[in-house]
A and B are shown apart, each in its own frame.
Chain A
Amino acid sequence: MEKVVTSLLENQCRQVRKDILQMMKVSGPTHLGGSFSSVEILVALFHLIDYAPHNFHARDRDHFILSKGHAAPAFYSLLAGKGFFRREDLLRFRSTGSPLKGHPDRLTTPGIEIATGSLGQGLSVGVGLALAGKKEGKSFKTYVLLGDGELDEGQVWEGMAAAAHYGLQHLIAIVDVNGLQLDGPTDRIMNLGPLPEKLRAFGWQVYQVDGHDLEKLVTVFTAAARDPFPAPKAILAYTVKGKGVSFLEGRVESHSLALDGDDFSRALAELGGVK
């Protein structure tokens, strides 16, 4: 990837994180940790795919489902950047009557494919989309972003099995492996490891990547999309919960909280200040 592109995307990541902080400021305790850990994943992915207002209603474009719906703030910032709604709308996040709900809502927020928030449901919807595409002989991609704690849900594994059974080559699941869920570390709450072996045993092609390295993310997304092997693709993106704000990184408390006063200013300053 060209240096200019990389620095453009890096700037975008900083902007997304600052947007998330501003959304928190207007709306109170927010899912900061899991939003911050997904930022590079989302920015790299949306750099690659054609997901924009002009073709949103086309059937055969690439699709994206935020199965970990609580990372909505990060997604909303990206959607505003893509022109699905105005950037000012971000500051109405979660206010009464706002188009930006606490979790993604297809009927009120432009750019949302399907409602999520109750965890574990997005992959099945992705399987349905990819299966519909396969039935019609199309090759659009369906991306689903999940959390590693979310993998505790049995429905996710029903989806994993079905995707392999139907040979859904164009389905790409990205797991934000930040190692933390709501109550603590994923390996202590419910140890599902080792994930690569488990996913391979379920019949998936597995890729692994540093989930904060934009260049590597772009490379792995491109590779997975081009991979002709007739099986679904899983990308395990290893991340840090709360990434980008030093005093949130790797801390279970970062899952949902509000920063006020000095903490807010410090966080913003670490991201390069208001601008």
Chain B
Amino acid sequence: MLSSPRDVLGKVLLDIADEDPNLVVLTADLGRSCRIDAFANRFPDRFFDVGIAEQNLMGIAAGFALYGFIPVACTFAVFTGRAFDQIRQSIAYSNLPVKIVGTHSGLSNAKDGATHQALFDLALFLNLPHFTILNPRDADDARTLLPQTFNRPGPAYFRLSREELPRLGTPPPTLGKGQILRTGKDVTIAATGAMVWRSLAAADQLERYGIAAEVLSYSTLKPFDEELLWESAQKTQGVITVEDHGILGGFGSQIAFSLGRHGLPAPHMMGTWETLGDTGSLEDLYRLNGLSVEHIVRKVESLLNRQRQPGQKH
């Protein structure tokens, strides 16, 4: 069964709004695309569409937070970059509880092309103090995790794919924790968001070749669960990171940093590189950027081959 994380956003907000009168929702003319129109219809006095003005969106959200509301500011992930200075100064610096939603993350806005693809948002958000950052792996994951951030102080960033992702039926995540979705002794595949199902599919294939891959899923990128990573990395022969984001400054970089400061070898990073994105079918784009299931399989094989002694089998 397929479902997109962005499709649950509206439902989550409706649930929270019923319980918390302080929730208000804002957007910059992307209410329908962010799937919050149901919220707008049900709570018209708690919904503000500020027009196509992302900088203003973030500032107004900060003002609502100063007054005591919990504002949720929704736009495409790529356009948060347009308001980064406002997020940095008007939200992060004053540690205000603004929840920023960036939908259509990574390459998932495939048909709109490079102008609408978000491949650097994590590089920006990961460096901001106070932020909680979520990148859910499927719709159920998003449904469990998003509400948990509303009990936390401070700002948050929700990175939501528009891809119709397989519902994985995996155990529900806890905020701030990574999860082992599949255990294995040969290699660690650490994945986030839309790359988790691809990594699990790759692990299935690898199993047929006699390779036991451990799959770590990171739906919370900040705070970052380092212990889980260190334990797995010490057990297997190498770590591969997979993200639909530029490899500099994103999830892979975060893992490289974490492994490095624990004295563990650098990971093999899979992500986009030297590109702003492109137009095409979703699966073509993931393939052209080296991010298909097949690519993950081959990456693991080449990693293990390189480390295998001549003549030795898997």
Known: A106-B93, A124-B86, A132-B69. A162 touches B63 (CB 8 A): no
Task: Count residues of chain B with CB under 8 A from any CB of chain A.
Answer: 31
Minimum C-beta distance from A82 to chain B (A): 19
Task: Type the 1/0 row for A109-123, where 1 means its CB is closer than 8 Å to any CB of B.
Answer: 000011111101111
**Inter-subunit contact A124/B55 (CB<8 Å):** yes
Query: Which residues of A116-155 are within 8 A (CB) of B?
Result: 116-118, 120-133, 135-136, 154-155
CB contacts (< 8 Å) of A116 on chain B: these are 89
**Inter-subunit contact B66/A125 (CB<8 Å):** yes
**Inter-subunit contact B67/A129 (CB<8 Å):** yes
Q: Which of A128, A132, A154, A161 contacts B59 (CB 8 A)?
A: A128
* Residue A158 interfacial (CB < 8 Å): yes
Summarize A's interface: helix, strand, loop or mixed: helix
**Inter-subunit contact A114/B90 (CB<8 Å):** yes
Q: Measured between alpha carbons, how far is A165 from B89 in the docked complex, in Å?
A: 25
* Residue B61 interfacial (CB < 8 Å): yes
* Residue B85 interfacial (CB < 8 Å): yes
Q: Measured between alpha carbons, how far is A213 from B260 in the docked complex, in Å?
A: 62
Minimum C-beta distance from B161 to chain A (A): 28
> Looking across the interface, which residue of chain A has its beta carbon closest to that of B93?
A115
* Residue A159 interfacial (CB < 8 Å): yes
* Residue B281 interfacial (CB < 8 Å): no
Task: Type the 1/0 row for A51-66, where 1 means its CB is closer than 8 Å to any CB of B.
Answer: 0000000010001000
**Inter-subunit contact B45/A125 (CB<8 Å):** no
**Inter-subunit contact A131/B45 (CB<8 Å):** no
Q: Which of B45, B55, B88 contacts A155 (CB 8 A)?
A: B55
Q: Measured between alpha carbons, how far is A116 from B20 in the docked complex, in Å?
A: 30
**Inter-subunit contact A124/B67 (CB<8 Å):** no
CB contacts (< 8 Å) of B90 on chain A: these are 114-115, 121, 124-125
* Residue B115 interfacial (CB < 8 Å): no
Segment among B46-54, B208-216, B229-237 that sits at the interface with chain A: B46-54
Q: Which of B51, B62, B89, B93 contacts A128 (CB 8 A)?
A: B62
* Residue B196 interfacial (CB < 8 Å): no
**Inter-subunit contact A162/B53 (CB<8 Å):** yes
**Inter-subunit contact B51/A105 (CB<8 Å):** no
Q: Measured between alpha carbons, how far is A80 from B51 in the docked complex, in Å?
A: 40
CB contacts (< 8 Å) of A115 on chain B: these are 89-90, 93-94
Minimum C-beta distance from B167 to chain A (A): 37
Task: Type the 1/0 row for A160-178, where 1 means its CB is closer than 8 Å to any CB of B.
Answer: 0110010000000000000
Closest 3 CB pairs of A and B: A128-B63, A124-B59, A158-B56
A-B contact pairs, 23 of them (CB 8 A): A105-B94, A106-B94, A107-B93, A114-B96, A115-B89, A116-B89, A117-B89, A123-B59, A124-B58, A124-B59, A124-B86, A124-B90, A125-B63, A128-B62, A129-B67, A132-B68, A135-B46, A155-B55, A158-B51, A161-B53, A162-B50, A162-B60, A165-B51
B interface with A by C-beta (< 8 Å): 24, 45-46, 48, 50-51, 53, 55-56, 58-69, 71, 85-86, 88-90, 93-96
6 A-B pairs besides A59-B67, A116-B89 with CB distance below 8 A are A115-B89, A124-B63, A125-B62, A136-B67, A154-B55, A158-B55
